[in-house]
C-alpha cells in the first residue's frame, strides 16, 4: 500500500474540524497524561505540578506520534483542594495523579461553612492559568477545567459519601452542586477576562455520573440541571465551546446528555462502553471522539491495537464523517508501551484518510 502524505498541519486540521470544513484525514489524539511524562523522562508529579515541564512533555509526545492534540492542563480530584482540602502529589511508586489527603467536608452541615473560593488562588487554578499562558504563547488552544460539576462536587466529601447523600440527604447534594457550579462559572469568567471572548475552550469530564455508579434517574435529578446551567452560562460569557469526556458507561444517560449545550460544534469523547454509532446518532451536530479501549492499548499486542484502531476509525468515518476524532476511550496508563501508541498512529495513517 502506498502511504499517503498529509496535506494539512495539525493546526489546520484542528481548525478545519471546528469550522466543519473538510480535513485530509481524521484527527488523532494519542491521549495519556502520565504517559507523556514517562515518555519524555519527566515524573508523573511534574505533569501536574510544573506547567513548563507538563507542556513540554505533552508537546514532545504529540510530535513523536503525529498527534493532533495540543497540550492541556488537567487535575485529577479537582474540587477538593480548591475548597480547602489537601492533596497528595503523585510521588509514590504507582501513583498516577494527585489524590486527596484531606477532604474539605465530611458532613452535610459543613457545607454551610464552605465559601466560594477566589478563582485566582483556588487549588490548582493558578497552575492552570500558568499553563494557559503557555498555550497562548505557543498559539495553541487555551483551555480550562470546567467540570463536570457532579464529579467535582463529589470530591468535596468523597464519592461514596456523596452517593449516600443522594439517598438520604438530597438537599445537601443540591447545595454542593450549587456551590461547585458557581465556582466553575467564576473560573470560566476569570479565563475569559484574561484571554478574551471566543478564545477559551472549556474542558470537562464526567466519570462519577457513569451508569456504573448512578442511575439515569439520579443523573437527571442531580447532575443534568447543573450541567445545562453551567454550559449555557459559560457559553454566554464568551467561552468558545465545550469539550466533554463522557467517561465510562453512559448508555442510559445519552438521551439526557443530548439536552446539554456544548457550543457549535461542541466536542464529546466517549469510552469504549458507548458505541461510536450511538454517540454519533445522539449528537448529530457535534464532534465525536473516541474510543479504543485503553486496556487494549495498555495490555494488548501491537496487532490487537492496530486492529482495534482500524475498527474504531472505520466506525467513526462511517457514522460521524468529517466530525470524528480518533483517540483512546479514556486515559491510558503511564506504562503503556509506546509502540502501541505508534500502532494507533499507523492505523490513522493507513485507514483515516478522507
Partner 1 sequence: MMDILKKIAESLMEFEPEDTIALVNEALASGIDAKTVLNEGLIKGMDIVGQLFKTNEIYVPEVTMAAECLQEALVVIKPLLKEEPSDVKVTVVIGTVEGDVHDIGKNLVAVMMEGAGFEVIDIGNNVLAQTFIDAAKEHNADIIACSALLTTTMAVMPEVAALAKNEKFEKDVKVLFGGAPIFEKWALENGADGYAEDASGAVQLVKDLVSRK
Residues that bind partner 1 (CB under 8 A): 34, 92-96, 99-100, 159-160, 163-164, 166-168, 211-215, 218, 294-295, 298-299, 332-335
Which is nearer to partner 1, 24 or 304 (by Cβ)? 304
Backbone angles phi, psi at 208, to 5 degrees: -75, -10
CB of 140 to partner 1, least distance (A): 27
Backbone angles phi, psi at 152, to 5 degrees: -70, -40
CB 326 within 8 A of CB 287: no
- Residue 298's alpha-carbon distances to 46, 253, 292, 336, in angstroms, are 22, 27, 11, 5
Q: How far apart are CA 131 and CA 19, in angstroms?
A: 25
Task: Please state the closest distance from residue 302 (CB atom) to partner 1, in A.
Answer: 17
Give the H/E segment covering residue 291: strand 287-292
Q: How far is the CB of 245 from partner 1 (least distance, A)?
A: 16
d(CA 307, CA 298): 14
Closer to partner 1 at the Cβ: 91 or 258? 91
Tell me the closest approach of the beta carbon of residue 189 to partner 1, in angstroms.
32
Specify the residue, 18 or 100, whose C-beta has the smaller distance to partner 1: 100
Considering the complex, what minimum distance in angstroms separates the CB of residue 225 from partner 1? 18
Helices (H) and strands (E) in the chain, counts: 15, 9
CB 331, min distance to partner 1, A: 9
Q: Rounded to an integer, what distance in angstroms lies between the CA atom of residue 344 and that of residue 326? A: 9
**CA–CA separation, 250 and 276 (whole Å):** 12
Report the distance separating Cα 242 and Cα 184, nearest Å: 13
Pick the closer one to partner 1 by CB: 70 or 328. 328
10 vs 150, which CB is nearer to partner 1?
150
User: Are the CB atoms for 267 and 276 separated by under 8 Å?
Assistant: no
Q: In what order do the strands lie in the sheet with 28-29?
A: 28-29, 324-328, 287-292, 267-270, 241-246, 200-205, 142-145
For partner 1, the closer of residues 93 and 137 by Cβ is: 93
- Give me the least distance between CB of 64 and partner 1, in Å please: 21
Tell me how far, at minimum, the Cβ of 258 lies from partner 1, in Å.
21
Beta bridge partners of 144: 202
Give least dist CB 168 to partner 1, A: 7
DSSP-derived 3-state class of residue 140: coil
- Between 160 and 259, CB nearer to partner 1: 160
Cell 456523596 -> residue: 162
Nearer to partner 1, 273 or 315 (CB): 273
Question: In terms of C-beta density within 10 A (0-12 exposed, 13-18 middle, 19 or more buried), how is residue 270 classed?
Answer: buried
Whichever of 154 and 260 has its CB closer to partner 1, that residue is 154
Amino acid at each position: 500500500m502506498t502511504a499517503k502524505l498529509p496535506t494539512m498541519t495539525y493546526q489546520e486540521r484542528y481548525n478545519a474540524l471546528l469550522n466543519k470544513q473538510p480535513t485530509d484525514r481524521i484527527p488523532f489524539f494519542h491521549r495519556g497524561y502520565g504517559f507523556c511524562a514517562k515518555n519524555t523522562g519527566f515524573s508523573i508529579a511534574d505533569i501536574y505540578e510544573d506547567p513548563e515541564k507538563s507542556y513540554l512533555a505533552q508537546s514532545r509526545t504529540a510530535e513523536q506520534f503525529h498527534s493532533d492534540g495540543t497540550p492541556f492542563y488537567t487535575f485529577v480530584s479537582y474540587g477538593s483542594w480548591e475548597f480547602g482540602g489537601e492533596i497528595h502529589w503523585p510521588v509514590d511508586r504507582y501513583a498516577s495523579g494527585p489524590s486527596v489527603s484531606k477532604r474539605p467536608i465530611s458532613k452535610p452541615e459543613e457545607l454551610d461553612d464552605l465559601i466560594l473560593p477566589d478563582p485566582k488562588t483556588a487549588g490548582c487554578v493558578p497552575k492552570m492559568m500558568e499553563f494557559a499562558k503557555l498555550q497562548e504563547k505557543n498559539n495553541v488552544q487555551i483551555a480550562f477545567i470546567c467540570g463536570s460539576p457532579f464529579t467535582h462536587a463529589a470530591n468535596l466529601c468523597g464519592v461514596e459519601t456523596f452517593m449516600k447523600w443522594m439517598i438520604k440527604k438530597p438537599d445537601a447534594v443540591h447545595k454542593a452542586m450549587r456551590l461547585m457550579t458557581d465556582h466553575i462559572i467564576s473560573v470560566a469568567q476569570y479565563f475569559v477576562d484574561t484571554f478574551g471572548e471566543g478564545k477559551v475552550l472549556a474542558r470537562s469530564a464526567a466519570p462519577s455520573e457513569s451508569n456504573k455508579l448512578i442511575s439515569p434517574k439520579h443523573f437527571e435529578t442531580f447532575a443534568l440541571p447543573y450541567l445545562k446551567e453551567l454550559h449555557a452560562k459559560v457559553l454566554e460569557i464568551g467561552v468558545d465551546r465545550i469539550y466533554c469526556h463522557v467517561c465510562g458507561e453512559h448508555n442510559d444517560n445519552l438521551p439526557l446528555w443530548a439536552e446539554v449545550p456544548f457550543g457549535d460544534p461542541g466536542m464529546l469523547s466517549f469510552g469504549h462502553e458507548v458505541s461510536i454509532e450511538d454517540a454519533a446518532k445522539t449528537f448529530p451536530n457535534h464532534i465525536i471522539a473516541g474510543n479504543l479501549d485503553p486496556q487494549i492499548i495498555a495490555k494488548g499486542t501491537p496487532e490487537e491495537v492496530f486492529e482495534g484502531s482500524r475498527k474504531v476509525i472505520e466506525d467513526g468515518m462511517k457514522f460521524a464523517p468529517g466530525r470524528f476524532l480518533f483517540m483512546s476511550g479514556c486515559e491510558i496508563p503511564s506504562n503503556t508501551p509506546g509502540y502501541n501508541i505508534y500502532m494507533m498512529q499507523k492505523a490513522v495513517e493507513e485507514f483515516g484518510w478522507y
